[in-house]
Amino acid sequence: MIDCGTCKKTKKPEDFHKSSARKTGRQYSCKNCQAQANLKRYHKKLRKDSLYKEKKRAYDKTRREIKGDELRAYDRERAKLPHRKAAHNEDTRKRRARLREAIPKDYDREGVLAMYELAQKFSRITGVEMHVDHIVPLSRGGKHNVDNLQLLAAPLNIAKGADTGWQLSWKAYP
Tell me whether strands 10-11 and 16-18 are parallel, antiparallel or unpaired: unpaired
What kind and span of H or E run contains 130?
strand 130-134
Residues 32, 94, 6: CA angle, nearest 5 degrees: 5
173 vs 105, residue with greater confidence: 105
| Residue 7's pLDDT band (cuts 50, 70, 90) | very high
pLDDT confidence of 80, banded at 50, 70, 90?
A: confident
- Domain spans of the chain, in order of start: 1-48, 107-172
SS3 sequence, 18-81? ECCCCCCCEEEEEHHHHHHHHHHHHHHHHHHCCCHHHHHHHHHHHHHHHHHHHHHHHHHHHHCC
Residues 56-78: pLDDT tens digits? 889 988 988 888 888 888 888 88
Cut 0.75: pTM above it: no
pLDDT at 136 over 70: yes
Q: Is the pLDDT of residue 51 over 80?
A: yes
Rounded Cα distance, 31 and 50, in Å: 28
